[in-house]
């Protein structure tokens, strides 16, 4: 059996879960190929899905769904009835409508979704003053990733039905409005020009070609606030406005308390 793992991972957590799934599948003598579509150029390349019996997709959650750039990219591929599984990584705040929205997109693109999963990972905005799940994924999350790999393999190789995902009853238009408002309220990263060695890593690694190394800031409209530039900068001169006040606000409106955070677990849907 040949499996492709296709993932988008600006700050590396989704890639870590993808690797765990990859290694587990490989141990069972499955041929696995990873396709990292984080970079702009890698998303322009055609992945020939005919080479694979099944596909695993892995994406972070941005504003309760897979990132818009990924939802758009998915519309350029066709599954021709192929089996697939998805997994998401998220910062433990809210996964919202992600599973249902993804199943809808994948079905439209003629994929047959047999399983989905969600993994708690360090929130990207820990790089901007948040304080949530800084040490995730942990050994328990990786254990669930291994279990996920074995379960999807079973589903890929048998006559398994599609996974049933409950409709969260949130309209796409509501999510779009929320996404636009949240993105607008998040400042874009910028650079301390004085100490920059001008290596341009921020510009070359930006997943959406938004960053301009000369100016030391991205095009605000194109920037998806993924903080890859900040995470990857070897000189550590990219920064972002402190977002800790926003974290306290999000905690309040989502009723995130210590008890809730302690009991939250990564999950598999079959």
- The distance of closest approach from Cβ of residue 251 to ligand FMN in the complex, given in angstroms and rounded to an integer, is 12
Which of 3-11, 106-114, 143-151, 193-201 is the region at the interface with ligand FMN (rule: CB under 6 A)?
3-11
> Contacts with ligand FMN: how many residues (CB under 6 A)?
24
Element at 46 (helix H, strand E): none
- The distance of closest approach from Cβ of residue 194 to ligand FMN in the complex, given in angstroms and rounded to an integer, is 27
Say how far apart CA 38 and CA 8 lie, in whole Å. 5
Question: Which of 3, 5, 6, 13 touches ligand FMN by CB under 6 A?
Answer: 13
Using rule CB under 6 A, residue 266 touches ligand FMN: no
- The distance of closest approach from Cβ of residue 227 to ligand FMN in the complex, given in angstroms and rounded to an integer, is 6
Q: Which residues are bridge partners to 84 per DSSP?
A: 55, 113
Considering the complex, state which of residue 19 and residue 157 has its C-beta at the smaller distance from ligand FMN.
19
Using rule CB under 6 A, residue 63 touches ligand FMN: yes
Say how far apart CA 61 and CA 58 lie, in whole Å. 10
Considering the complex, state which of residue 157 and residue 187 has its C-beta at the smaller distance from ligand FMN.
187
- Order the strands of the 54-60 sheet from edge to edge: 31-36, 2-7, 54-60, 83-90, 112-120, 267-269
Binding residues among 73-102 for ligand FMN as defined by CB under 6 A: 89-94
Assigned token pair, 35: 């396709």
Using rule CB under 6 A, residue 129 touches ligand FMN: no
Element at 54 (helix H, strand E): strand 54-60
List the x/- string, 179-218, binding to ligand FMN by CB under 6 A.
Answer: ----------------------------------------
Cβ–Cβ < 8 Å for 224, 208? yes
Phi-psi region of 60 (alpha: psi -120 to 50; beta: other; left: phi over 0): beta
Q: Which residues are bridge partners to 211 per DSSP?
A: 218
Q: Which residues bind ligand FMN (CB under 6 A)?
A: 9-14, 60-64, 89-94, 121-124, 225-227
């Amino acid at each position: 059996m040949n499996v492709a793992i296709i993932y988008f991972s600006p700050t590396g957590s989704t890639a870590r879960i993808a690797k765990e799934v990859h290694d587990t599948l490989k141990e069972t003598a499955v041929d696995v190929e990873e396709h990292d579509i984080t970079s702009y150029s890698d998303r322009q390349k055609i992945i020939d899905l005919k080479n694979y019996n099944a596909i695993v997709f892995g994406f972070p959650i941005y504003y309760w769904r897979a990132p818009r750039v990924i939802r758009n990219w998915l519309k350029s591929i066709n599954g021709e009835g192929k089996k697939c599984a998805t997994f998401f990584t998220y910062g433990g705040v809210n996964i919202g409508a992600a599973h249902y929205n993804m199943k809808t997109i994948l079905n439209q693109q003629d994929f047959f979704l047999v399983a989905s999963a969600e993994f708690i990972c360090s929130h990207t905005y820990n790089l901007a003053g948040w304080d949530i799940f800084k040490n995730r994924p942990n050994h328990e999350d990786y254990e669930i990733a291994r279990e996920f790999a074995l379960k999807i393999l079973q589903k890929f190789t048998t006559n398994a039905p599609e996974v049933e995902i409950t409709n969260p009853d949130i309209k796409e238009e509501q999510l779009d409005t929320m996404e636009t408002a949240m993105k607008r309220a998040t400042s874009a990263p910028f650079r301390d020009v004085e100490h920059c060695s001008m290596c341009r890593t921020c510009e070359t690694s930006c997943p959406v070609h938004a960053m301009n190394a000369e100016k030391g800031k991205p095009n605000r409209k194109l920037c998806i606030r993924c903080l890859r530039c900040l995470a990857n900068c070897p000189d550590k001169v990219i920064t972002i406005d402190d977002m800790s006040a926003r974290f306290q606000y999000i905690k309040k409106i989502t009723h995130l308390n210590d008890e809730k955070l302690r009991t939250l677990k990564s999950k598999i849907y079959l």
